[in-house]
Structure 1
Amino acid sequence: MAATLVVLADPVWAAPPPADTDPTAQINAIIGNITRWVTGMLFGVATLFLTISGARRLTAGGDPTQIERAGREFKNALIGYALALLAPVALGIVRSWLGA
């Protein structure tokens, strides 16, 4: 299974460099790569929190402390997904500041 995931993975940093040497195009390419990387990392961390939250909820055994903790982790996962969706917007604002 792990070998299959490695073979099918598409690294973000393997994007070809821009064909022209225009600094604006280079900045756009860099910001685009950063956007994809940050978004991927945020989705990954949010999914990890969601998985941990679900496992904690399933293994709580009726313990209110564990159920409350699972609820907080679920909320954190939702915040992570929201940040992942807003990352391209935030980096678009940075791009507009740079005039790119």
Structure 2
Amino acid sequence: VVERYCFDDLSLAEISAEEGNSRQAVHDLLQRVEELLENYEARLALIEKYHANQKTISEILASVKHLIELNPPAEIRSEIERLVQNVRLLQEED
């Protein structure tokens, strides 16, 4: 039901017709699922962890930028740039 409502963009009426339930029953089910998901999120704290990780990544990139400004030898600079690319890839995955 949730998948059809959220991802397939079906209305409550369409889902209730398919399921043989009332629109109110479908609505109540969606409300209960939303509450469960919010409780899971609160327990897992995924959003907070995500924001903390993004902050840490930004701090790392700022520190690395400062290191590059110190004009290190070419081989160290290329290694730093490789690491920056890896960090940015991690950032994009989120």
Q: TM-score, normalised by structure 1?
A: 0.47
Higher Cα Rg, which structure: 2
User: Higher relative CO (CA 8 A, sep ≥ 6), structure 1 or 2?
Assistant: 1
Q: TM-score, normalised by structure 2?
A: 0.49
